[in-house]
């Protein structure tokens, strides 16, 4: 009578463990630096919110001079009227003048991390 094999041999199990180890070793570095990616994404999100806030402010101020905030500098983005709830902690804006009706690219820095992460946004000037 012929005997049938049941289960795996020790060599097969060891080879599977080795293959899984190699896959884990190559995939692990991809997941280690998620904090850097998250910080960059958060900084870009705040920059996008500032850009939208300046555009909305420009539109509402164009309708009526009693609405919105006068913008003559990129750092006017720290004003509570540009971003609802104000500027998040740990961010700073590089000052740059903005003339009425024109737009300028401004730089936002996330100062809560080292090295600082930066992103750019557009500010639209309005008196």
Does residue 30 have a pLDDT over 80? no
Give me the mean pLDDT over the 38-48 stretch.
Answer: 93
- Asked if residue 111 lies in contact with residue 91, where contact means CB atoms within 8 angstroms, the answer is yes
pTM: 0.72
pLDDT for 67-111, tens place per residue? 888 888 888 878 767 888 888 889 999 888 888 888 899 999 999
CB-based contacts of 107: which residues, under 8 Å, 6+ apart? 74, 93, 94, 96, 118, 119, 120
CB atoms near residue 91 (< 10 Å) = 21
In this structure, is residue 20 part of a structural domain?
Answer: no
Cβ proximity of 83 and 90 under 8 Å? no
Q: Does the residue 44 lie in any domain?
A: yes
Decide if 1 is inside a domain. Answer: no
87 in a structural domain: yes
More confident: 28 or 42: 42
Query: What pLDDT, in 10s, does the model give residues 47-61?
Result: 999 999 899 988 988
**Separation CA 32–CA 64 (nearest Å):** 51
Identify the pLDDT of residue 105. Answer: 92
- From 79, 83, 90, 85, select the one nearest 113 (Cα to Cα): 90
Cα–Cα distance between 107 and 94 in angstroms, integer? 6
Domain that holds residue 94: 35-124
In a domain, 29, yes or no: no
How many domains would you assign to the chain? 1
């Amino acid at each position: 009578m012929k005997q049938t094999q049941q289960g795996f041999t020790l060599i097969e199990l060891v080879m599977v463990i080795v293959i899984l180890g190699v896959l884990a070793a190559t995939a692990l570095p991809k997941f280690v630096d998620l904090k850097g990616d998250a910080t960059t994404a958060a900084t870009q999100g705040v920059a996008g919110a500032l850009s939208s806030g300046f555009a909305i402010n420009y539109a509402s101020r164009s309708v009526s001079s009693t609405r919105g905030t006068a913008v003559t500098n990129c750092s006017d983005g720290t004003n509570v009227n540009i971003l609802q709830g104000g500027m998040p902690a740990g961010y700073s804006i590089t000052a740059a003048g903005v003339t009425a009706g024109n737009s300028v690219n401004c730089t936002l820095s996330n100062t809560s991390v080292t090295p600082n992460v930066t992103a750019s946004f557009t500010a639209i000037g309005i008196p």
